[in-house]
Amino acid sequence: MGFKQRLSRFAARHLANRWLPLNKGRGVVSFSFDDVPASACHQGAMLLELYQARGTFYVCGSLTDGIEQNQVCHSVVDLQRLLENGHEIGCHTYSHTNCANASSGFLLEDWERNLAFFRQHGITHHGFAFPFGAYDLGSKLAASKRFSYNRITGGGTQTVRADLSALRAQSLYSASSNMDALGALIKHTATEGGWLILYTHEVSETPGPWGATPALLEAALQAATQEGCQLLPVHRAIDFFLS
């Protein structure tokens, strides 16, 4: 990576922050699903509900009724049912675009297209997740103006404070997640009164590299419950930390 790119990445990470204090003395774990395969709406949501939890689903309108990575994607009815059951819908661009490489004109148009898709189907939504966790200073600033919060990837948990312009999230992938490490992360979140946001894609007995088995999702739900964390969708977690 060249100097200019390193500088740009540093600026994106350290500028334009909007800090949310995490000082409620109780940890929160949020479960999120990107791109929203149909299995996340069915199997994923069902498991969350079993633990009195609700999740956040980051939707690209261009994937609705489509197929991505060999996974059948959500339908509009799936999204409406998620909302009825108290889950959160968020924006993930319309075309699943890499925001770090896109012009601001393109991004504003693409976001508007996704929000128009939500409006057309009466889908209320909060927040935004950068596809691929990719952002730069320009897209971080633009997304901060447009959305109440932005989620990135980046891994780990958040303690003391969280940047609403770039909320970190930890992958929950069967191919690469280690339940011991995840358990330790959840314990740390509980002890520090922090906020851990997990993200995955499909929930399947035979997931691809970016999905989780029902067993892994349930193990994370169980660990978070046992540690006394609150299980909240991202926008409700923000309300909790602001209250």
Q: CB-wise, 129 or 221, nearer to Zn ion?
A: 129
Which of 27, 37, 131, 133 is the binder for Zn ion (CB under 5 A)?
131
| Of residues 99 and 164, the one with the C-beta less far from Zn ion | 99
- Told to check if 110 binds Zn ion by CB under 5 A, we report no
Range in contact with Zn ion (rule: CB under 5 A) among 25-33, 108-116, 129-137, 159-167: 129-137
If 0-12 CB within 10 Å is exposed, 13-18 middle and 19+ buried, where does residue 28 land? buried
Considering only the stretches 33-41, 67-75, 117-125, 205-213, report the one whose residues sit in contact with Zn ion under the rule CB under 5 A.
Answer: 33-41
CB of 75 to Zn ion, least distance (A): 18
Among 106, 82, 107, 110, which residue's Cα sits nearest to residue 94?
110
Q: Which residues contact 184 (CB under 8 A, 6 or more apart)?
A: none
Pairing of strands 19-22, 160-163: antiparallel
Q: Calculate the CA 219 to chain-centre distance.
A: 19
- Residue 99 amino acid letter: C
Q: How far is the CB of 82 from Zn ion (least distance, A)?
A: 17
Contact flag: residue 35 with Zn ion (CB under 5 A): yes
**Pick 52 or 176: Cβ nearer Zn ion:** 176
Cross-strand pairs, 207: none
- Written as six digits, the tokens of 206 are 């035979």
Note whether 34 binds Zn ion by CB under 5 A. Answer: yes
User: Shortest Cβ distance from residue 35 to Zn ion (Å)?
Assistant: 4
The CA radius of gyration of the chain, in Å to the nearest whole number, is 17
Positions that interact with Zn ion (CB under 5 A): 34-35, 131
